[in-house]
């Protein structure tokens, strides 16, 4: 250019440099490009105004998103923005790579950006070259830091050796990425292959079980704890001539062998191999060293976790029994899910114990047996250890032939001696255990139950109705060495199923005893599969994905170990065996109310309500509960005997009959009285006459039975009594109060 000649225009200069200009207004959504920018975008080389969609279709989706982020960052920091873009044709193929530098401003009123920038084509760098190791933006260190953060997070989240190796194989290092990886471990004085990537099956054979004194890079790294970098095949061949033939056929150009060191101990080596030459600059070595350290930590954590899982799985298998041989006429299913405290074994347990002797035996010679379920306080190793010892003690006491109450009394004394007996015992480490012990006679279905602070059993009847069976109980085991555990006897009818469980099944997921029981009851009532499927459904309802839809009212959503035992007495189908078309239409409950247990009258009322949970008339349910309360209270107040309740529902839905019968051993028959307006008693038989469809008083060989019936089809409250026995004269003190 001669002196005094005018300078060329900006457009001429940019055209000479093959650089285009573009302007983007996000308020209008329009992008203006000059002829050169249009050419670079694969459009006719002329100035044009394009929509955002037209420009976006010409850029790689990842690059378009990156430009949007860089614009916001540039405005926030008040700097120029720079981005690498891949330009694509109509078929989605990359036709060129460009670099754009731009200035962006933000209009707060319009809440829009205005961006003006340049676009210039650049040459895509070759992998392994200095240009390839430097990002187009020139920010190699920022890319390295971002990569290390991502790699560290991914490796920290890996929970097993397999996951660690999968993460390591997927790492894409900035500017240089190996295509072959191998992780070596050490067993004794030999190398082992923990895992590899980028090789064919069987390629690891020559390197597996290689002696540590072998002239091989990985062996040297393990011996010395220092990394080995080989940039060319010639370096490999000169330094390790004996083992070079083993590596030659992989056609790699560069290798890095780095020690896997944890707490000063070299636990193995990591190999990264490249198909192109790598100079291993200080930055590259820094990245590889950092990845090796993170990989060593991840492998160490995974190894420790797998060892702990193997240990706890073995401990769990040794502590939880098999359910033993099949019992004719009975089926048993069990589940255990350790979910508390991070351990895979906890303080919950169950057991099935064959009992000696006994007068009742099946045809196969199999006699009585006991089912035990319990929960030691805590979710730590000590709880698991106490659980194992207590389970053995219970089995020993039961095998000696003791009754259920004696078994629990001895077990309580045993646990108290272990946890409370030492004067040096830490008060914060004192433990107790809840337990439910059921002695089963498979021939008759009789169940003798002793309970130590444990949830009551539940019975699923043949028609699917579920009742909680209140049983007498005592303190949890280990609190009082002289505690008593009364025994409750119930009968498991043919076709019925008993559920006993630990509180984890009820309370897991933020539930309390009330809401948790409603969830379990719904599963029991609706299930139509076999016993094993029912056990799976119960666990799935509280511990599977579906449990997240039935969370309880408690904010902490406390997790707990889960133990479940199901006992089914075979009979006409109940929905727990093969699916049936019509279920039996009989349901009954039986309950004893002793003179010194007036609080069980409330239990009896609740049992009757549960028995009538689907009764058509709520008024009739209220009437039945009122009459039951009157008859039970009469026995407790006017006799010295205990009362036996038997309630039975028969018939098909909509045409059922409820019969409630209360029996006592007093020979005094009730009679109607005419109480005054201010009298507080004497209206019992009057209520029965008004509310019951039928009623009566039947003398027995010893004692009497007062009964009443309600008919669902009538649906009306009280049509007058029809039982002549209700008019019998007798001792005034024995009539309903």
DSSP track, 242-254: TTHHHHHTT--SE
Q: Is the pLDDT of residue 328 over 90?
A: no
Residue 307 has pLDDT above 90, yes or no: no
- pLDDT score of 286: 83
Residue 540 has pLDDT above 80, yes or no: yes
Instruction: Tell me: pLDDT of 576 over 50.
Output: no
On whether the CB atoms of residues 100 and 33 are closer than 8 A, the answer is: no
Give residue 258's pLDDT band: very low, low, confident or very high (50, 70, 90).
Answer: very high
pLDDT average, residue stretch 342-368: 66
Contacts of residue 298, Cβ cutoff 8 Å, sequence gap at least 6: 155, 156, 158, 164, 167
Position 359 pLDDT exceeds 60: no
Range with the lowest mean pLDDT among 34-38, 276-280, 473-477, 498-502? Answer: 276-280
Query: Vertex 225, ends 220 and 227: CA angle to 5°?
Result: 75
Give the per-residue pLDDT at 397: 93
Q: What is the mean pLDDT of the chain?
A: 80
More confident residue, 661 or 314: 661
pLDDT average, residue stretch 497-518? 87
Candidate from 116-130, 596-610, 699-713, 722-736 with smallest mean pLDDT? 722-736
- Predicted local confidence at residue 626, as pLDDT: 92
Query: Minimal CA–CA distance to 287: which of 184, 174, 133, 196?
Result: 174
pLDDT above 70 (res 78): yes
Please tell me the predicted confidence (pLDDT) of residue 142: 59
Cα–Cα distance for residue pair 11/520, rounded to 1 Å: 78
pLDDT at 431: 83
Tell me if 158 sits within 8 A of 192, measured CB to CB. no
User: Which of 152-166, 356-370, 384-398 shows the highest mean pLDDT?
Assistant: 384-398
CA 269 to chain centre: 36
Cβ–Cβ under 8 Å, residues 362 and 329:
yes
- CA 444 to chain CA centroid, Å, is 38
Q: What secondary structure, in 3-state letters, does 472-516 show? A: CEECCECCCCCCCCCEEEEECCCCCEEEEECHHHHHCCCCCHHHH
What's the pLDDT at 716? 45
> Which residue, among 480, 469, 683, has the nearest Cα to 591 in the 3D structure?
469
Distance (Å, rounded) from C-alpha 344 to C-alpha 332?
24
The pLDDT score that the predictor gives to residue 365 is: 41
Beta bridge partners of 620: none
Residue 411 has pLDDT above 60, yes or no: yes
Cα 571 to chain center, whole Å? 34
In this prediction, residue 548 carries a pLDDT of 65
Q: How confident is the model at residue 237 (pLDDT cuts 50, 70, 90)?
A: very high
Helix (H) or strand (E) segment spanning residue 658: strand 657-664
Q: What pLDDT was estimated at residue 410?
A: 94
- Express each pLDDT in 129-149 by its tens digit: 444 444 334 345 556 677 778
- pLDDT for residue 361: 43
- Over residues 65-91, mean pLDDT: 81
Q: Output 51-58 pairs: Cβ under 8 A, ≥24 positions apart.
A: 52/24, 52/26, 55/24, 55/31, 57/88, 58/87, 58/88
Nearest to 496 by CA among 579, 603, 604, 584: 584
Q: What is the dihedral of CA 471, 477, 483, 488, to 10 degrees?
A: 20
- Give percent of the chain with pLDDT exceeding 90: 21
Q: Which of 354-363, 556-565, 571-580 has the lowest mean pLDDT?
A: 571-580
pLDDT score of 3 more than 60: no
625 vs 418: which has the higher pLDDT:
625
What is the per-residue pLDDT for 434? 93
Does the predicted model carry a pTM greater than 0.75?
Answer: no
Q: Which residue has the higher pLDDT, 717 or 288?
A: 288
Rounded CA gap, 511 and 550, in Å? 9
Strand partners, 122: 97
Residue 495 to residue 582: CA distance in whole angstroms: 13
Q: Is 149 left (phi over 0), alpha (psi -120 to 50) or beta?
A: alpha
What would the pLDDT profile of 158-197 be if each residue is shown by its tens digit? Answer: 777 778 877 777 776 666 678 888 889 888 888 888 887 7
Residue 269 has pLDDT above 80, yes or no: yes
How confident is the model at residue 579, as a pLDDT? 42
Does 526 have pLDDT greater than 60? yes
Tell me the average pLDDT across 583-593: 74
Percentage of the chain exceeding pLDDT 70: 80
- How confident is the model at residue 682, as a pLDDT? 53
> What is the predicted pLDDT for the residue at 360?
43
- Cα 204 from Cα 188, distance rounded (Å): 19
Residue 599 in this model has a pLDDT that exceeds 60? yes
What are the backbone dihedrals phi and psi of residue 416, each rounded to the nearest 5 degrees, phi first? -60, -40
Looking at per-residue pLDDT, the higher value among 425 and 87 belongs to 87
733 vs 637, 665, 671, 673, CA distance in Å? 9, 15, 9, 10
């Amino acid at each position: 250019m001669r002196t005094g000649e005018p300078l060329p225009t900006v457009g001429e200069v940019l055209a000479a440099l093959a650089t285009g200009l573009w302007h983007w207004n996000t308020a209008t959504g329009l992008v203006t490009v000059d002829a050169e920018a249009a050419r670079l975008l694969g459009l006719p080389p002329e100035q044009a105004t394009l929509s955002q969609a037209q420009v976006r279709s010409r850029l790689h989706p990842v690059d378009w998103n990156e430009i949007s982020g860089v614009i916001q960052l540039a405005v926030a920091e008040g700097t120029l923005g720079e981005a690498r873009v891949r330009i694509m044709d109509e078929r989605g193929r990359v036709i060129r790579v460009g670099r754009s530098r731009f200035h962006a401003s933000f209009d707060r009123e319009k809440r829009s950006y205005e961006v003006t920038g340049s676009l210039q084509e650049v040459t895509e760098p070759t992998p392994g070259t200095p240009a390839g190791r430097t990002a187009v933006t020139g920010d190699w260190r920022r890319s390295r830091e971002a990569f290390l953060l991502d790699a560290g997070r991914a490796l920290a989240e890996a929970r097993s050796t397999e996951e660690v190796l999968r993460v390591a194989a997927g790492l894409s290092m900035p500017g240089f990425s190996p295509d072959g990886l191998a992780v070596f471990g050490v067993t004794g004085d030999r190398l082992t292959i923990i895992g590899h990537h980028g090789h064919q099956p069987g390629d690891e054979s020559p390197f597996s079980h290689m002696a540590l004194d072998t002239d091989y890079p990985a062996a040297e790294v393990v011996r010395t704890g220092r990394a080995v970098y080989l940039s060319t095949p010639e370096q490999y061949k000169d330094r390790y001539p004996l083992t070079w033939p083993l590596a030659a056929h992989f056609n790699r150009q560069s290798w890095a062998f780095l020690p896997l060191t944890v707490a000063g101990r070299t636990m193995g080596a990591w190999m990264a191999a490249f198909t192109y030459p790598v100079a291993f600059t200080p930055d590259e070595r820094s990245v590889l060293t950092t990845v090796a350290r993170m990989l060593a930590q991840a492998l160490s954590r995974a190894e420790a976790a797998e060892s702990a899982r193997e240990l706890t799985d073995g401990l769990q298998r040794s502590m939880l029994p098999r359910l033993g041989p099949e019992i004719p006429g009975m089926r048993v299913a069990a589940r255990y899910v350790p979910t508390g405290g991070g351990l895979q074994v906890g303080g919950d347990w169950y057991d099935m114990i064959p009992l000696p002797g006994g007068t009742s035996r099946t045809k196969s010679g199999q006699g009585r047996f006991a089912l035990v379920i319990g929960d030691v306080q805590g979710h730590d190793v000590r709880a698991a250890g106490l659980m194992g010892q207590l389970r053995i003690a219970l089995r020993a006491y039961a095998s000696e032939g003791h009754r259920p109450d004696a078994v629990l009394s001895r077990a309580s004394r045993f646990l108290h001696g272990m946890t409370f007996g030492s004067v040096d015992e830490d008060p914060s480490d004192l433990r107790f255990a809840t337990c439910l012990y059921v002695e089963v006679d498979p021939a008759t279905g009789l169940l003798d139950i002793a309970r130590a602070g444990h949830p009551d059993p539940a019975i699923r009847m043949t028609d699917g109705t579920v009742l909680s069976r209140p049983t007498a109980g005592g303190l949890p085991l280990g609190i009082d060495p002289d505690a008593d555990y009364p025994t409750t006897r119930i009968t498991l009818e043919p076709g019925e199923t008993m559920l006993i469980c630990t509180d984890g099944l009820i309370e897991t997921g933020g539930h309390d005893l009330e809401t948790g029981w409603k969830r379990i009851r719904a599963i029991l009532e609706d299930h139509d599969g076999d016993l094993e499927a029912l056990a799976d459904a119960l666990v799935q309802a509280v511990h599977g994905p579906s449990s997240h839809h039935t969370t309880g009212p408690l904010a902490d959503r406390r997790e707990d170990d889960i133990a479940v035992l199901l006992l089914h007495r075979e009979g006409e189908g109940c929905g727990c065996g093969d699916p049936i078309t019509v279920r039996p239409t009989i349901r009954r409950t039986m309950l004893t109310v002793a003179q010194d247990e007036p609080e069980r009258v409330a239990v009896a009322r609740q049992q009757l309500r549960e028995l009538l949970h689907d009764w058509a008339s709520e008024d009739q349910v209220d009437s039945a509960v009122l009459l039951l309360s009157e008859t039970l209270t009469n026995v407790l107040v006017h006799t010295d005997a205990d009362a036996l309740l038997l309630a039975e529902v028969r018939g098909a839905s909509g045409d059922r009959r409820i019969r409630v019968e209360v029996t006592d051993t007093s020979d005094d028959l009730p009679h109607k009285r005419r109480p005054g307006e201010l009298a507080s008693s004497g209206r019992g038989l009057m209520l029965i006459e008004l509310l019951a469809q039928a009623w009566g008083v039947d003398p027995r060989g010893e004692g009497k039975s007062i009964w009443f019936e309600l008919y669902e089809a009538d649906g009306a409250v009280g049509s007058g009594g029809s039982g002549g026995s209700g008019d019998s004269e007798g001792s005034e003190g024995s009539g309903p109060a």
